[in-house]
Structure 1
């Protein structure tokens, strides 16, 4: 119990909830659906990229915004995709980007931002987090599209 604070429960103040996340997306004018299989997860598409918005953590205090590039890569492209992701991660703060195997023959490329709201969060901060996550992740996907296209042309 450092500094006399217990970490057993998140403070009761402006707690992050799935309802507040829904309100923020509505306020920003975004369409979304609830995930029928996973509680505390919303799904949406932005610039044709699929995104998930999740309230996570032991005390439901973490906002996770994750987008997936709309193209799947072959497993043979793993090294190049990883190189592009690593370069982005070294040069920019947001989003964290990575390559993940989707099945035996395909790779997905993801962008993700995580926000910790253990001590509460304002509506404005949720709005800013969503806007930041979407704009930076879509910027990465746009960059990736042009770089993969450039690489494909160089290979032919």
Structure 2
């Protein structure tokens, strides 16, 4: 057994569940809705940005918090969008950011944090994960807003 870790998953009371995620969001004072199509996903808006909170993984032990910038870029801006994401990822630990094609003509910019709670998680740790994910992702989006507007002004 490497590093002395047991291969047993978290005790039932410490497991990450969608119910515990809902409780955490309520404790933090955040409004959210359940996803009608996906039972392990919650949706919310923070500073007008859409976010999803998902419980994922084979053992439902992974918390994924993903936000999307509220503006779409044209596919012609892919190189610049990728450059902005790469710069952020090189300079900062959180969140992981990326650009994704939304349709034939538009790109979305995303921020994402993933937390592995295979061995269990406290309520406080879930709260901290959500707070960290939201604050760092919104900081990325704020940074994007100023950089894209600066670029637009430079092009004018």
Answer whether TM exceeds 0.5 for this pair.
yes
Q: 1:3 to 1:89 in 2, by over 3 A?
A: closer
In 2: Cα distance, 1:69 partner to 1:61 partner: 26
**Does the CA contact (< 8 Å) of 2:24 and 2:123 recur in 1?**
yes
Q: Deviations over 1:101-146 (max 9, x none)?
A: 0000000000000000011000000000000000000000000000
Structure 2: which 5+ runs fail to align? none
Paired residues of 1:99 and 1:107 also in contact (CA < 8 A): yes
- Structural mapping, 1:103-142, within 5 Å: 103-142=103-142
| Structure 2 CA distance for partners of 1:39 and 1:151, relative to 1, 3 Å | same
Aligned residues: 156
TM-score with structure 1 setting the length: 0.95
What is the TM-score with the length of structure 2 in the denominator?
0.95
Q: Secondary structure at the match of 2:120?
A: coil
Shift of 1:7: 3.9
* Residues 3/140 of structure 1: CA separation in 2 closer, same or farther (3 Å cut): closer
Alpha carbons of 1:58 and 1:8: their partners in 2 closer, same or farther (altered >3 Å)? farther
Deviation at 1:9, TM superposition (A): 4.7
| Structure 1 residue 11 displacement after superposition | 4.3
- Answering whether residue 26 of structure 2 is matched by residue 16 of structure 1, we say no
Distance in 2 of aligned mates of 1:37 and 1:134: 23
Over the residues paired in the alignment, what is the CA RMSD in angstroms?
1.5
TM-superposed deviation, 1:84: 0.4
Structure 1 match to 2:3: 3
CA distance in 2, matches of 1:43, 1:23: 14
